[in-house]
């Protein structure tokens, strides 16, 4: 048996940053993603977001790539939102996403950051947040 503990903090947005994830809709989508992830043996530690994006802290399985995990989460949830007509218009996630590994020492700060998305976004937009994340993990300096 393999023992793997890899934590991933991922962020993905709605297509065209449409603010579909209102305070009424977001909990329904989050609850569904959690239920579906459990069925697919994806461990989600934290999941929260704002009107146009979600943050997810999940454990990466030994045999599944980050891209596959996010495809399972994003694809199925968009299908469900449309099937159940949770939003008034067709719902899609944007293709791109952000994903970074998280050390055990940083788990509590990432959890807190994910939990406090409402307060965080009183100060800035999703685009500003992504820019901060890209700078803090030095994605912008790689090229």
Q: Name the strand (E) or helix (H) holding 109.
A: helix 107-115
pLDDT tens for each residue of 52-72: 999 999 999 889 999 999 999
pLDDT, average across residues 18-43: 97
Q: Would you give the end-to-end CA distance of the chain in angstroms?
A: 38
- In degrees and rounded to multiples of 5, residue 38 shows phi and psi of -60, -40
| Structure tokens, 112 | 């807190």
Cβ atoms of 15 and 46 closer than 8 Å: no
Any idea of the CA torsion for 45, 67, 137, 19, to the nearest 10 degrees? -70
Report the predicted TM-score, pTM, of the whole model to 2 decimal places: 0.86
| Structure tokens, 3 | 């023992």
Residues 40, 132: Cα–Cα separation, whole Å: 32
CATH of domain 7-136: 3.30.70.1290
Work out the burial of residue 92: count CB atoms within 10 Å of its CB; fewer than 13 is exposed, 13-18 middle, 19 or more buried: middle
Q: Which has more confidence, 134 or 4?
A: 4
Q: Assign 119 a pLDDT band (cuts: 50, 70, 90).
A: confident
pLDDT tens for each residue of 65-112: 999 999 999 999 999 999 999 999 999 999 999 999 999 999 999 999
Q: What is residue 142's predicted lDDT score, i.e. its pLDDT?
A: 52
Instruction: Please choose, from the candidates 101, 92, 93, the residue with its C-alpha nearest in 3D space to the C-alpha of residue 139.
Output: 101
Task: Please state the domain extents for the chain.
Answer: 7-136
| Structure tokens, 93 | 């996630």
Q: What is the mean pLDDT of the chain?
A: 91
Q: What is residue 16's predicted lDDT score, i.e. its pLDDT?
A: 96
């Amino acid at each position: 048996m393999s023992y793997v503990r890899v934590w991933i903090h991922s962020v993905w947005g709605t297509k065209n940053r449409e603010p579909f994830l209102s305070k009424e809709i977001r909990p329904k989508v989050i609850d569904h993603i959690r239920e579906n992830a459990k069925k697919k043996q994806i461990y989600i530690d934290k999941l929260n977001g704002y009107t146009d994006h979600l943050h997810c802290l999940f454990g990466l399985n030994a045999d599944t790539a980050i891209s596959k995990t996010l495809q399972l989460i994003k694809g199925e949830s968009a299908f469900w939102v449309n099937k159940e007509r949770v939003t008034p218009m067709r719902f899609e996630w944007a293709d791109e996403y952000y994903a970074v590994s998280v050390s055990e020492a940083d788990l509590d700060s990432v959890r807190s950051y994910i939990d406090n998305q409402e307060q965080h976004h009183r100060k800035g937009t999703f685009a500003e947040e992504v820019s901060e994340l890209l700078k803090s993990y030095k994605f912008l300096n790689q090229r």
